[in-house]
Structure 1
Amino acid sequence: MRILLVTQYFWPENFRINELATQLRDRGHEITVFTGLPNYPSGKIFPGYGFCRRLREDYRGIPVIRFPHLPRGDRGFLGMAANFVSFALLGSLLAPFLLRGRPFDVIFVYEPSPITVGFPAVVMRALRKIPLVFWVQDLWPESLTSAGNIRSPWILKPVERMVRFLYRRFDRTLVTSRGFVPSVVRHGAPQDRVEYYPQSAERVFRPLEVPPDAPERGLLPVGFVLLFGGNIGVSQDFPTIMEAAELTRSRTDLHWVIIGSGRMEDWVREQVAARRLGKTVHLLGRHPLERMPRFFACADALLVTLKRDPIYGVTLPAKLQAYMACGRPVLAALDGEGAQVIRESGCGLAVPSGDPKALAEAALRLASLSGEERCSMGRRGRDYCSVHFDPERLLLRLEEILRDARVEEMHKEA
């Protein structure tokens, strides 16, 4: 199939869609990526890119067509809103011209957020009369309230109308969590066109044996290491992590290690200093995705947290699959579907979101287990991941979905 992949984030930004695009290409499909200028998570356009620079390039044999838009800037609300709106507007205006002469069978949209990434795809669907498959990984308008703390009806009501407009124009809507289904249906997606399609971990995430002299070990403190890897954002509920770390501060051999960057990074650093947690809380900054499995292998357990909020209760965080694929025990402060996966798999310990006392107690309990008990948790998680989030099986299912959408469109034309 000739697939137009529309995404607001693509290489050199680190997102799951990079590997998925190459997997589809390896299976014989012709992929064209339509995206903007890389600027996540720093909010600044990456070196070498610009409004008139590197707008067309090749990523592992995949043509990438970029268009200029405003970057996130300082990550404030206005900067982020300008980023979202400019991507949707300029992408919609430029897509017909930048993609002219390129035939496509189906459009596939990757949406970790915002949903406005759907506008250029909707325009191409209308002009080319080709089906559109939309992969939802973040619920709108709910995420504006939960992550953006936006509660004004003057903003939320127009956004809700926009969301309805978009969902009604998708031929298939895929959701990464079963808990997302009621929301997308309520906002206009036909029930029979919605399907659960979870994320799988990138293939780089796998169990590793790391030698004693590995450089990653030299960056980690000596003792029991709880490692958080990923975005340091509002959704990840770092206030709960900081409070839990404060509750365990007397255990100087228990270390909370954070690898990543994001909107809350400066706040976390300030809290570490204000609470005098420098001996047990360590921020190591960003590291390449390819190194993360090595860090995971050096840690004693891996940490995943989300805010206490209805939207996060139905969210299955992507880092959970990555942790499980690496065969490491998991400590989680999650509600709903994420906690259910941990309990079903037996891959670790889960406590309610927003409960620092429970998180601290679970951390101490995990540290008290034998190494073999924690290894057993990791193996169970790996086995569960192989059954429920197998990349090859999910890739085959995605091909079926895209192909079925194309066949249905051809029948309509006939």
Structure 2
Amino acid sequence: MNILIITQYFYPENFKSNDLAFELKNRGHQVTVLTGLPNYPEGKIFEGYGFFKNREQTINGVKVIRSLLLPRGKGGGLRLFANYYSFAFFASVKAFFLGLNNRFDAIIVHEPSPITQYYPALLMNKLWKIPVYFWVMDLWPESLSIAGGVKNKFVLSYYTKVIKGFYKNSEKILITSKGFRGAINEKGDFNNKIVYFPNWAEDAISEGSKDFPIPPMPEGFKVMFAGNIGEAQDLDNIMRAALQLKEKKNIKFILVGDGRKMPFVKEFVEQNDLHDTVNIMGRFPVEAMSSFFDKADVMLVTLKDDPIFNLTVPAKLQAYMSASKPVIAMLNGEGADNILDAGCGFTVDAGDYSALAETIVKASELSSEELQKLGSNSRKYYAENFKMSACISNLENIISKKA
């Protein structure tokens, strides 16, 4: 098939769109990616890219076309608005000419946020009737309200109407969490369009080498959090748990990643003198994750206590499971259910930092054999439910109308 993937985020940015494009190409499909100039998460255009640099590339056999956009900067509301809509506008212009010169069988919109990434696909669907498969990884306008802090009723009502139109226009709506089904159906009768299409772990994690050079790890029971350090991940309560465990010098929190909450984390560590127990590693490429995970005793996954996050399964959970690691979770909903079903760790209610601290102490007292058993359960559940090869095979069936 001749497949177009539309996404604001693509290599060298680290998103699932990379795996999707390269794996479809490896399976013999012709794949084109319409994306923007890479600038996530730092907020500035990556070195080597620009108005006249690498606007068109071929990466691993995938044709990559980059539209202009205003970089996200430090992520303030107006700057993000400009970032989202500048991509939507310039990518729509690119999409028009792509549609004139190509015969695409399907368009996949990869949407971890914002929904404005859908506009170029909408244009191509209206002009050339190309079916659009909407891969929903973030619910709007709920995410805009909760994670983005937008409370204006007019704005939320506007985006509710917009997303209804996108759902109506889609051939299929691919959801990463089963909990999304109800929230989407509240906006219309879309049940027959909805298909469960979960996240997976990158091969660099699930099958990766453990020899990537990383900083030395502290001695002790290592509780590792890896990924985006953002608002949704409830770093406030992770830090409160760390403060509660301040005198437990054997327990070490390891933070791998970066994001909008990192300044808060650094300030909290400084103000509360947590340097002995909280270790900030910084951001590393996905290829390093296997080496980091190998050094951890347990992995930590958290989300804030909010209805939208209770419907969400964090993508890092699949990564943790693929690496055969025990998991401690401070979240509600489907993510917690996955951990309990797998028998691979411990869950506490979202926001309950005292219970998190107690659970970490409990886990630190387990034998290596007990921890290894939990890790084996993680890997088994991942292989049965979240393996990339099975997910992409399912997607091929969906877009070829066989499922």
CA distance in 1, matches of 2:385, 2:126: 35
CA shift in 2, pair 1:55/1:228, >3 Å: same
User: In 2, are the aligned partners of 1:170 and 1:189 still within 8 Å (CA)?
Assistant: no
Partner of 1:93: 93
CA distance in 2, matches of 1:295, 1:142: 33
What percentage of residue pairs aligned between the two structures are identical? 43
Give ranges in structure 2 of 5+ residues lacking alignment. Answer: none
The reply on whether 1:328 has 2:325 as its aligned counterpart is: yes
1:358 aligns with 2:355: yes
Matches within 5 A, 1:208-247: 215-216=213-214, 218-247=215-244
Match of 2:395 among 382, 395, 398: 398
User: What corresponds to 2:286 in structure 1?
Assistant: 289
Q: What is aligned with 1:411?
A: none
Deviation (angstroms), 1:188: 3.5
Corresponding residue for residue 187 of structure 1: 187
Tell me the TM-score normalised to structure 1 length.
0.94
Shift of 1:190: 1.9
Q: Structure 1 residue 13: deviation in Å? A: 0.1
Matches within 5 A, 1:41-80: 41-80=41-80
What amino acid is aligned across from residue 263 of structure 1 in structure 2?
A: R
The alpha carbon displacement at 1:91 in A equals 1.6
Deviates more, 1:351-360 or 1:199-208: 199-208
Give yes or no for contact 1:107–1:121 (8 Å, CA) kept in 2: yes
Whether 2:355 is the aligned partner of 1:367: answer: no
Instruction: Give, in whole Å, the separation in 1 of the partners of 2:135 and 2:315.
Output: 14
**CA gap 1:345/1:116 in 2 versus in 1, 3 angstroms:** same
**Which residue of structure 2 lines up, in the alignment, with residue 267 of structure 1?**
264
Partner amino acid for 1:6?
I
Report the count of equivalent residues.
Answer: 403
Q: How far apart in 2 are the matches of 1:165 and 1:395?
A: 27
- After superposing on structure 2, the runs of 4+ consecutive aligned residues of structure 1 that deviate more than 6 Å are none
Correspondence 1:34 to 2:31 = no
Report 1:41-190 matches (<5 A): 41-188=41-188, 190=190
The yes-or-no answer on 1:252 pairing with 2:254 is no
Q: Which amino acid aligns with 2:141?
A: P
Contact preservation (8 Å) 1:207, 1:327 = no
Corresponding residue to 2:344 among 343, 347, 356: 347
CA distance in 1, matches of 2:127, 2:7: 19
- C-alpha displacement at 1:98, in angstroms? 4.5
Q: Which amino acid aligns with 2:364?
A: A
Cα deviations by residue, 1:157-213 (Å, 9 ceiling, x for unpaired): 1111111121111111010011001111222462101111111111122277858xx
Distance change (3 Å), C-alpha of 1:207 and 1:400: closer
CA contact (8 A) 1:35 1:67 kept: yes
Q: Which amino acid aligns with 2:75?
A: R
Q: TM-score of the superposition, structure 2-length normalised?
A: 0.97
Specify every segment of 5 or more residues in structure 1 that has no aligned partner in the other structure, as ranges.
Answer: 408-414
Distance 1:291 1:209 in 2: 8
Read off the aligned partner of 1:154 and give its amino acid letter. Answer: F
Q: Secondary structure at the match of 2:204?
A: coil
Distance 1:141 1:208 in 2: 37
Q: 1:104 Cα shift?
A: 0.6
Query: Is the 2:210–2:290 Cα contact (8 Å) retained in structure 1?
Result: no
C-alpha separation in 1, matches of 2:299 and 2:313: 16
User: How far did 1:100 drift?
Assistant: 3.3
Q: What secondary structure does 2:203 align onto?
A: coil
Asked if 2 retains the 8 angstrom alpha-carbon contact of 1:210 and 1:298, the reply is no
Q: Which amino acid aligns with 1:248?
A: L
- State the shift of 1:373 in Å: 0.4
RMSD value, Cα: 1.6
Q: 1:311 aligns with which of 304, 308, 312?
A: 308
Report the alpha carbon displacement of residue 6 of structure 1 after superposing the two structures with TM.
Answer: 0.5
